[in-house]
Amino acid sequence: MAKSITVDSLDIYYGDFLAVEGVTMTIKARSVTAFIGPSGCGKSTFLRSLNRMHEVIPGARVEGKVMVDGQSLYDAAVDPVAVRRQIGMVFQRPNPFPTMSIYDNVLAGNRLNAKKMKRAEADDIVERSLKGANLWNEVKDRLNKPGMGLSGGQQQRLCIARAIAVEPQVLLMDEPCSALDPISTSAIEDLIHELKTEYTIVIVTHNMQQAARVSDETGFFNLKAAGQPGHLVEFNSTQKMFANPDNESTEAYISGRFG
């Protein structure tokens, strides 16, 4: 199920503005890849280019190649809606659908996609996804209560359950813990660790300790100067990035000397 992603010379634009320039990297299947770097260097923009969410913004486009298990993501024949189903996304702020129950929140993506589901099939998906997101035990007796009634950390796990309910191959996470307290953050980090046995996970984080704890590989993005496009400075195993990076600016960023 999990897929690898190969990016080759990717340039990402907002209209005429080149936001990210020349990214080349391979994201391995069944692993966690973290993106770090100072504000505005294009981490979220790059993340959104990996499931074609970027092009939802008027005037936004990419040049270059993104291959998912050998298939070109931006090929004219590829349906962007199908792409977003296979490459799911979890956002910074938990965003359960406010009027829906916990049960219906988990199924929201499946219902968008599918033919009518039998009740037993729906029940199975809800249980499997909530177990996968480590939330089942906390909510199994109140599945019909509103998703908004959960704590922030539980809501974020509900959003992860909703993302995995459609059985994606890749999960993109844009600062998934930035709105959470340390205990909820720790629960999400444990979950990321478990999910990587089945999914390819890519996470943007401002928290360097978090990148060091959860990821196998790390990409450091930076800007050459204000107003210049962001670019990938270094991409290496997380262990190497934090112990002995190849690039001086990686070292400076990681040791807190800028950003």
Rank residues 151 and 207 by Cβ distance to ligand ATP and give the closer one. Answer: 207
* Measured distance CA(235)–CA(43) in Å, rounded: 13
* Measured distance CA(84)–CA(112) in Å, rounded: 12
Radius of gyration of the chain (CA): 18
Rank residues 209 and 244 by Cβ distance to ligand ATP and give the closer one. Answer: 209
Beta strands in 150-225 (DSSP E): 170-174, 200-204, 217-223
68, two tokens: 């998912």
Q: How far is the CB of 252 from ligand ATP (least distance, A)?
A: 17
The torsion angles phi and psi of 135, rounded to 5 degrees, stand at -120, -15
Residues 6 or more apart in contact with residue 51 via CB below 8 angstroms: 83, 84, 87, 88, 89, 170, 172
Q: How far is the CB of 57 from ligand ATP (least distance, A)?
A: 5
Q: How far is the CB of 121 from ligand ATP (least distance, A)?
A: 38
Rank residues 176 and 230 by Cβ distance to ligand ATP and give the closer one. Answer: 230
CA 252, 236, 92, 63: dihedral to nearest 10 degrees?
Answer: 100
Rank residues 16 and 141 by Cβ distance to ligand ATP and give the closer one. Answer: 16
Q: How far is the CB of 208 from ligand ATP (least distance, A)?
A: 13
Q: How far is the CB of 102 from ligand ATP (least distance, A)?
A: 29
Rank residues 37 and 94 by Cβ distance to ligand ATP and give the closer one. Answer: 37
Q: How far is the CB of 47 from ligand ATP (least distance, A)?
A: 8
Pair 220, 189: CB distance under 8 Å:
no
Q: How far is the CB of 245 from ligand ATP (least distance, A)?
A: 19
Among 87, 93, 98, 100, residue whose Cα is nearest residue 1: 87
- Positions touching ligand ATP (CB under 6 A) are 14, 17, 19, 37, 39-45, 57, 230
Rank residues 59 and 149 by Cβ distance to ligand ATP and give the closer one. Answer: 59
* Measured distance CA(226)–CA(125) in Å, rounded: 47
* Measured distance CA(91)–CA(185) in Å, rounded: 14
